[in-house]
Structure 1
Amino acid sequence: MLGSDIYIMCPVTGTLDKKKIKHLKDLDLYCDFMHETSMYECEKSFANTITRSPLGKVKISYMSDEYDNASVEWIDALCVLTYQEKSELGILVFIVPLCSRDDTQIGDIVFSGHLRIDDSEKIYDLNSYIRTLKLLSCGKEKIIYTNSLALKSVEQIGYLLAGETAGSEHIDYRIRDQKLEELSSNNIAMYDFYELYASTNSIVYLVNGFSDNYLNNLEIEALLIYICEIAVLQNAAIGRINGQIVDELMQNSNISTSKTLKLQVEFGKTILLWDNKIYNYYMSQQLSNSIVSAFETDKLLEEYERNSEHIEQIASLKSAISADIEGKVLNILAFAISIGELVQLIKQLVAYYQGHTYALGASGISVAILLLLALIIKRNRKNRNKGI
């Protein structure tokens, strides 16, 4: 029985430590073939914004779902970083060609947060390993499973889409979910030589011509991988800005309009990812639309829009309240100074009628004080808008 080709995609942000790049023949072939595919399927100006860097071989953990007590085996994997420099967004991809282990258990390991990586120097959990590359996680992992159409099992598809093991040692159960049953029967393929099933977690790609030669399989997998790359980068863009907005709301009591503008500008750098005209072919665009829909990117965008509107409202209210307070302070001071001026004027009139000279230049002093106060308030307002 043929094992599946498995691609574990982890959205990240940051700037890769170039010292981590490790060239291997299979990885270089993968990177070159993916680039050729992107140049064929998309506008070249867009395709060239996304690069792939080989990061060498690692081992990933495999164990039963009794995680705390399970013995760990290790599976060889290749590691690649797909990266868009302008947005500083990427995808850490673990590739397991022709995996002989239970696909559903690998999904369970990844989505339950039990994935471990051995880079031959140390064993890390996923987030710690990502940090060794000078990157940060910014979204939920996705998995692509590819296998032969001849091995199709509707029940297996359901567990893969759910991201749960079909052979639990922890509890005896079978999934019974109407939505999942619908997804397991909803073939979103664009051509007749394969079947394709998708959920928010996973893509199951069952294809005629799947073989025990990984590089041959890559030829029929590359387009799907590329479309998923763009969809995951979109999710990474939303995940990053949502995380930043939540951090601002939770940790920073001095939210400014300039800070909210900075967040929007950073998100704007991802605009090319959202262009629905980047694909050269209609069927590629339709497949992309189906996968983006399965990943529920629209719901992530709605969450971003709610968070964005909320933080903008807070910044605007803080700015309005501060401006109102400053206006009232100026009015009070101006009133106080005007009273002082009136007193001085009365004194001068009394002194005049009594034949005395009495002139202190009170009006000039008052104007100077008002100007100084106005400058101080203007400076505070400028600092507040900068988020200081």
Structure 2
Amino acid sequence: MQYNVITGTDFDEKYLEKIMALDAIVYESEYVGVLENMVNRYRVNKKTFVCIENADTGELVGYINFFPTTDELYDSITNTSPVIRDDDIAPHEIAEYNNEANHLFILSIAINPAYQSDKEAVITLGNGWIDYLCRLQNEYNYPITDITATAVSHSGMKFLRNYMFIQTRKLTDGNIVYICKEKFLEKLLKKDLYFKSYKDDIYLLYPFADNPNNQKADALFNEKKHLMETGQIPDIPMALLEGINDCLNYECKSAVASDLETVYLDEFRLLHTTDDYAPAGEEIVVGEESAYAIITTHKPTRMYVLTLLIPNCEFSTTQVEDQMSYDYMKIADPKNPGCYIEIHEYMKRTYGLLECGDGKCLLCMSNKPKNHNEFQNIMAAEVYNSMHIDYRIHSKMVEEWCTTNYAQYDYYEVYLSDTVIAFILNDFLEDIFDRIAITATYAFIAELIMFQNTALAKTNIKISNVLANDNDISHEEILNLYHDFGKTVHFWEIKNYKYTGTQAEAACITKAFGNEELKQIYYEHQEFLDHIVELKAAQIESRNGNVINVVATFLAIIQIQSFIVEPLAAFYKNMGIEVIYADQTFNTLLVCGSLTFLLVWYILRRKKKRIHKRNISKR
């Protein structure tokens, strides 16, 4: 459909009646203003509207109402007003454009519901508005410093996000003030914008571990099992729990499924930001979105896989992945309203669980992005719509990830990288519960492969810590490490999966995630530990040999006592010394020599220990 763009200088006051009528259709009654107030503001400054009309009928389809603010109004919007500023804005609070600095405020955005499904209408309105802003700057020499706005509807929030607005404050009435400034404003005016061209559900998988003394985790599972038994779990995570458990029981052998336990954890508000990662307390907030958390434990080894489900993600998928890669996956902190906490820190603080390997991402997608470069970024888990780089991925390896379809059945395509599974359905069903049921047939495999990852990471971390902190490891300690790893052997058996297609899917994910490389690192560590034990055994054997030699020498000296004492007695007799002192002299020499030997040995041993401790402290 074709649309025409008009501005506030192209119509008169009568046209405002059409705008007011559109407001009545779009907004809730409490946010519909008074025509007289709109007319009074329009009389102060007519360069305050951009509208689009149906090119065939002349019907008003949508509009954006904005204007420059006085310093007082700007301060009220950005700092002092506890509630939304809307139709209460008086004509004297609207400024004339000037040639130095202009703070703009968007009072309202509206698109007729009959046209909201037409992306062309939204894009035409947005582009028309940007073009008009550029005219104000370039033709009229009215520099724009920043643009503020508030949104009272879901579609309004989505529009502001797409047009480079970020959150700056939350009001007491629940509304949010947005702002577009600095490089966000630069990207807006250049039309360097991002619009999602596909639908997806995002599953983020994080590995954790703990120790047997962690009572928090045990209490967690007891509490959450009670919630499940009493039906106190939201529908979406309950569908995911049931889907994964059904697949484990149906597609896996009982030896694997019986050791796994899955519970619903919580619903988090996940932070969406930009790739300009700000420090704690200064986060750039593009928005928040619900993420449902479930957690699965392998009871014999106390390993865990946390799954965060973001259904119908409305934000940039590559930005979510980039936050995962950067370890900047933050949630609204339940203990500190208005603050955010990184997911690993939250799990450690709340449940005593420790990070144990890298996170992975499973995407259930409707289709590949229209732009192939974006799909490359998806598979590489790097942000596509970056705030500070303008180059693109150009890699043969990544291109292979994007073009190799590993699907084993005909209802989907699947593309794999070392971090991402792109699970693209031929029929992306609108019902989220139907999609969860289908995705669970692949998600349960990814979860089991994650336990392989976690087992290897946990063992390699333990070995690395042992080697870094104390080379003097015992054979018993090594056996304990091998014993813990042996408990995970079930995860490596391809015959765990009952069906050939599922076995093939598991083999592909295992290879893509680099588990074989991790296993090779484990074997190298294992060989090194065995070598250390062999060296230690040789050292002990050598030390025992030295002790035996010393004792043998000591006994030999005792045995030759008579050969030394008899000449010494004759010498003492000739010198007029009592012969009895010959035995005492020999015994004194023997004792003093032994004590001197022990003293030298003790000094050398202490010196060796000091050198060993100094070397450890330097690592």
Distance 1:191 1:267 in 2: 33
- Residues 197 and 153 of structure 1: CA distance in aligned 2, closer, same or farther (over 3 Å): farther
- Are 1:51 and 2:261 counterparts? yes
String of CA shifts for 1:70-109, please: whole Å, max 9, x gaps: 6223221111111110121110111111111110110011
Deviation at 1:151, TM superposition (A): 5.7
- Residues 92 and 345 of structure 1: CA distance in aligned 2, closer, same or farther (over 3 Å): farther
- Residues 150 and 12 of structure 1: CA distance in aligned 2, closer, same or farther (over 3 Å): closer
Q: Who is 1:226 aligned against?
A: 444
- Residues 345 and 268 of structure 1: CA distance in aligned 2, closer, same or farther (over 3 Å): farther
User: Highest Rg: 1 or 2?
Assistant: 2
Map 1:28-43 to 2 at 5 A: 28-43=238-253
2:484 counterpart (266, 274, 282): 266
2:343 counterpart (98, 123, 126): 126
String of CA shifts for 1:136-155, please: whole Å, max 9, x gaps: 11111000011113767543
Residue type of the partner of 1:82?
T
Normalising by structure 2, we get a TM-score of 0.55
Q: Who is 2:298 aligned against?
A: 84
- Are 1:195 and 2:419 counterparts? no
Deviation at 1:311, TM superposition (A): 2.0
- Residues 277 and 344 of structure 1: CA distance in aligned 2, closer, same or farther (over 3 Å): farther
Normalising by structure 1, we get a TM-score of 0.86
1:114 counterpart (322, 328, 335): 328
Deviation at 1:246, TM superposition (A): 0.6
Contact residue 239 and residue 436 of structure 2 kept, 8 A: no
Q: Who is 2:177 aligned against?
A: none
Aligned with 2:312: secondary structure? strand
Q: Who is 1:18 aligned against?
A: 219
Contact residue 3 and residue 101 of structure 1 kept, 8 A: no
- Residues 285 and 154 of structure 1: CA distance in aligned 2, closer, same or farther (over 3 Å): farther
Distance 1:265 1:154 in 2: 47
Distance 1:152 1:257 in 2: 58
Which segment is superposed worse, 61-70 or 255-264?
Answer: 61-70
Could you tell me the percent identity over the aligned residues?
Answer: 27
Residue type of the partner of 2:252?
C
Q: Any gaps of 5 or more consecutive residues in structure 1? A: 363-388
Question: How well do the aligned residues superpose, as a CA RMSD in angstroms?
Answer: 2.8
- Residues 40 and 19 of structure 1: CA distance in aligned 2, closer, same or farther (over 3 Å): closer
1:93 counterpart (298, 307, 316): 307
Q: Who is 2:284 aligned against?
A: 71
Map 1:297-336 to 2 at 5 A: 297-336=515-554
Contact residue 369 and residue 375 of structure 2 kept, 8 A: no
Which segment is superposed worse, 125-134 or 193-202?
Answer: 125-134
Q: Who is 2:383 aligned against?
A: 165
Q: Any gaps of 5 or more consecutive residues in structure 2? A: 1-196, 228-232, 570-578, 588-619
Map 1:200-219 to 2 at 5 A: 200-219=418-437
Deviation at 1:117, TM superposition (A): 2.2
- Residues 135 and 175 of structure 1: CA distance in aligned 2, closer, same or farther (over 3 Å): same
Deviation at 1:192, TM superposition (A): 1.9
Distance 1:220 1:231 in 2: 18
- Residues 119 and 51 of structure 1: CA distance in aligned 2, closer, same or farther (over 3 Å): farther
String of CA shifts for 1:186-205, please: whole Å, max 9, x gaps: 00001122110010111001
In the comparison of the two structures, how many residue pairs are matched?
361
String of CA shifts for 1:362-387, please: whole Å, max 9, x gaps: 9xxxxxxxxxxxxxxxxxxxxxxxxx
String of CA shifts for 1:286-319, please: whole Å, max 9, x gaps: 0110111111111111111111211221222122
Q: Who is 2:199 aligned against?
A: 3
Aligned with 1:210: secondary structure? coil
Residue type of the partner of 2:306?
L
- Residues 92 and 317 of structure 1: CA distance in aligned 2, closer, same or farther (over 3 Å): same
Which segment is superposed worse, 323-332 or 179-188?
Answer: 323-332
Contact residue 356 and residue 458 of structure 2 kept, 8 A: yes
Q: Who is 1:382 aligned against?
A: none
Q: Who is 2:12 aligned against?
A: none
